[in-house]
Amino acid sequence: MSHAGLNTHEGSTTSLASTTNSSSSGSAEGGAGGDSDDRVALAQALLQRCLQKDTLLCELYMQLIKQTTDHPEPSSRVSARHWALLCAAVGAALPPAKPLRRLLLAHLRYRGTALHAGEEGKFARRAEQVALSIAQVGRRNSAPSREELLCAAARRPMHVRVLLLDGKQHGLVFGPAATADHLVAMLREKIGLNDAATGYALYEVCANSTPAGTGERALAGSERVGDVLARWEKAGATAASCRLVFKKRLFLGERPLQSECVAEMELLYYQLLHAIRHDRLPIETDEAQSFTSNWPRALWLAVDARGLTLLRRGSRSALVSHDHEQLLAVSPAPRALLLVTRADRKHAKLVLSTDQAYQIATLIKDYIEAVRGPVSPAVAEPSGAGARTS
């Protein structure tokens, strides 16, 4: 199986590059688990600093190209660590300077051809493969996780399990260049969703999730999966506390809960059960009512392809409804969401207190772009308690 230009051939496991140039005869050097952990931590710290400053990233690549050229002991542990660190660096970000990037690719291509039978040749071919795929995606935000670094040293791809709301899990194999969109495409093929089944996304769901959805976040399509795993590692999360969930995010069309795709109908059935069980109920357009000033403290906000509706929490009774054409601007803040609307030639500002402002704003934006185009930004106003209009 291959993904994002990366084959899944596995190589022998090796430790990451050390910061010293000690000889391979240092016997206990790679055996102790503590030393290996230290090397991984050093590699992460180094790559994090280099990702933050282009000059450091260029210097790192120049040093690695030098250290992987005509090594006096090409079969030594030290040489293998240099190559492992180079593979990890390529998976994180390519050199920002174009001449250095061309030099790197030429170096990898030559070493991969000239040293075809050796470990160096295998590392060079793997690094070139990663580099070509990385060039097609955005830059990483954070240093690779421990798992990604060890996979780079072993010349093998990463693996993650994605949960479906029917209780099934799918294991996916992916490379450093993989984005959320890549994984969604892989899942669609595995599950058997046809081209008409649109609007699906990957969510990261953490153990602090509540019925209101705190701890659940839809991944942007261009978001690097490696960044997500690195963030979980930094937070001390485990596979049990944080996971990826695949479900429908945008409900488009006249009958969004009806589909000719059997696989999608099954997914929608379990997603609907999950939504009802977690206090999220659907609303129909004809149930929307005109604006009322009787605002309760806790509200539901329903977003679909037609517009927005505010409801009393735990009820299907709508307080106010706006079509997307009436929405002029959306501006999220850390704990508040500003909506600027127009109705009957009057403008209104709606400020909602919520911890999910950015997720809601992104969902509204995606629906509007699917229906009529982008939303103009608004200047965020100071957040306050509850919901208010002006």
pLDDT digits (tens, 9 = 90+) for 163-199: 998 888 899 999 998 999 999 999 999 998 988 888 8
Q: Is the pLDDT of residue 268 over 90?
A: no
- Which runs of E-coded beta strand occur in the chain? 2-3, 6-7, 158-164, 169-174, 200-206, 216-218, 242-248, 299-303, 307-312, 318-323, 327-333, 336-343, 346-353, 387-389
Q: Does domain 285-389 have CATH number 2.30.29.30?
A: yes
Q: Is the pLDDT of residue 216 over 90?
A: no
Q: Is the pLDDT of residue 329 over 50?
A: yes
Say if residues 152 and 144 touch (Cβ distance below 8 Å): yes
Q: Is the pLDDT of residue 61 over 90?
A: yes
Q: If one looks up domain 2-154 in CATH, what number appears?
A: 1.25.40.530
Q: If one looks up domain 158-277 in CATH, what number appears?
A: 3.10.20.90
Pair of tokens at residue 138: 């955005």
Residue 85, sorted as left (phi over 0), alpha (psi -120 to 50) or beta, turns out to be alpha
0.75 cut: is pTM over it? Answer: no
How are the residues of the chain apportioned to helix, strand and coil, as percentages rounded to the nearest 5? Answer: 40, 20, 40
Residues in the chain: 390
CA distance 325 to 2: 43
Say if residues 1 and 8 touch (Cβ distance below 8 Å): yes
Please state the domain extents for the chain: 2-154, 158-277, 285-389
Higher pLDDT, 154 or 6: 154
Q: Report the Cα–Cα distance between both ends of the chain, in Å, rounded.
A: 56
Say if residues 173 and 10 touch (Cβ distance below 8 Å): no
Say if residues 175 and 130 touch (Cβ distance below 8 Å): yes
